[in-house]
Copies of this chain bind each other. A is one copy, B any other.
Amino acid sequence: MSSEKKPERIPSREENFSEWYISTVRLAHLADYTPVKGSMVIRPYGYGLWENMRDQLDRRFKETGHENAYFPLLVPESFLLKEAEHIEGFAPECAWVTHGGGNELEERLAIRPTSEAIICSIYKDWVQSYRDLPILINQWANVMRWEKRTRLFLRTAEFLWQEGHTVHRTDKEAVEETLQMLDVYHDFLETEMAIPAIRGKKTESEKFAGAVDTYCVEALMQDGLALQAGTSHFLGQNFSKSFGIKFLDEDNTEKFAWQTSWGVSTRLVGGLVMTHGDDNGLRVPPRIAPIQVVFVPIYKAGLEGPLKEKIGKLAAALRDRGIRVKEDLTENKRPGWKFTEWEIKGVPVRIEVGPKDLEKGSVCVVRRDTREKQFLPDADAIEVVVKLMDEIQANLLKTATEARDANTHTPKDWDEFKQMIEGTKGFLWAPWDGTEETEARIKEETKATIRCIPFEGGEAQPGDKDIFSGEPAKHRVLYAKSY
């Protein structure tokens, strides 16, 4: 993988979406392959994006009463074995530590594929009385799920994520928490990432190994494939019974606790690229952009000093308004080269300052989303650029929502379903009879899965028949092929 060469040029999305994606991720310096099979390196620009995403999520977690903590990386096999469905789901993907400190271990240890097992084994000591509840904890961590085929951010053996793990006194409270965190994700995706997402419930066959119910936010990428952007699980008492998390309730009886877990990962960086990117590279929503405005001088011999000075003043004025600014003042790269670089990196606004601008007291402001240019007097520039942050953010969400809606269809019958899923793909609404059999057959024939039973529009209407079996429908669901 390290032997893969950088492409000479980025293919268009139309031409080869998958190649376009990988090239964009690599040329924008978000991430790259490494000599370690299955693992990527997240480069500073990509990590800067993740830091901003993390901070915006973390703020929301804290506002909803959660605290961060850190639990062990290694999980003894016997812990994983305690919850039967859980081990069945994760064992095939585990990396195992068998030796440490020069000796073979008595029991092999998994690198956490997710932390329910290790965290529950610790929570059991923390929970004794109803007074100890709720426990509202989140962890920012690396996890590992062995993968043979890797795709940067979307599928790698190791990735970064956050995982919330909460414990409650009642099922009602736990369900409320599960849904609250789904809303947190939905709001984060729309507000910060400008990614429209659909909330819904997973089917039995698609839910998290060990959960009672899994809820999700599903987004649609530009190539018509769905991306699961986040999940929130109501674990019921499955883990509390397996791990012995019980408490003495106010009524003096001993009860098993109710739990949730919820997470999003660095795959969201991939979702960002595939939602907003265009044939010139990334387009990063201002609210999470590591660099919101980049200044590029058009040097002319003798004017380097005055140009740098003018840019310095404008940059300081923007920083005072809370804008994250980069001054690209190097003299050994041509302006055109810099324009291309910052377009690939998707910086929301570029400000060009040349010799004529010194004379006229003006600048040229270029939006990355629409690539529109405006020539503005210095006096107006700051205010316009500050406003552009909101405008670009709103425009990216609008564009993405329109693209998603334009590629959401309701096939009239099974033939049209098959035709659509092979063609433009996208989200397909269809009535479902609620059986795992139908779901499996459709997956087999088309590779499409039920992404979710949406909260909005998921109820079957009188007379609805399953698109495949023709049986009476229980729900209207969203099908798609997915990442």
Which A residues are closer than 8 A to B by beta carbons?
2, 32, 34-36, 39-44, 47-48, 50-51, 67-76, 79, 92-102, 108-109, 111, 118, 121-122, 125, 131, 137, 141-142, 144, 146-148, 157-158, 160, 332
Contacts and interface: CB of A to CB of B under 8 A. Distances in A.
A144 B160 CA distance: 17
The 6 A-B residue pairs with the shortest CB-CB distance in the complex, in nearest-first order: A101-B146, A44-B67, A39-B72, A42-B70, A96-B99, A95-B100
Given A92-B102, A97-B97, A101-B92, A47 B35 contact: no
Nearest to A39: B72
Given A48-B67, A93-B101, A96-B100, 17 more contacts: A35-B121, A35-B122, A36-B72, A36-B109, A41-B72, A41-B122, A42-B70, A44-B68, A47-B68, A51-B68, A73-B144, A94-B101, A95-B97, A95-B100, A99-B108, A101-B148, A142-B142
Contacts of A118: 34, 36
Contacts of A111: 73, 97, 111
Contacts of A121: 34-35
Given A36-B76, A122-B41, A99 B92 contact: no
A27 B141 CA distance: 25
Contacts of A40: 72
A74 B95 CA distance: 10
21 contacts: A2-B125, A34-B121, A36-B72, A36-B109, A39-B72, A39-B74, A41-B70, A41-B72, A42-B69, A47-B68, A47-B69, A50-B70, A51-B68, A73-B158, A74-B95, A92-B101, A97-B98, A99-B108, A100-B146, A102-B146, A141-B142
Task: Give the oligomeric copy count.
Answer: 2
A131 B41 contact: no
B70 A34 contact: no
A448 to B, nearest CB: 26
A144 B99 CA distance: 13
Given A39-B74, A74-B158, A95 B99 contact: yes
A36 B74 contact: yes
Given A97-B111, A100-B95, A70 B160 contact: yes
Interface hub of A32, A68, A93 (most chain B Cβ within 10 A): A68
A287 to B, nearest CB: 19
A300 B96 CA distance: 58
Given A70-B41, A158-B73, A97 B100 contact: no
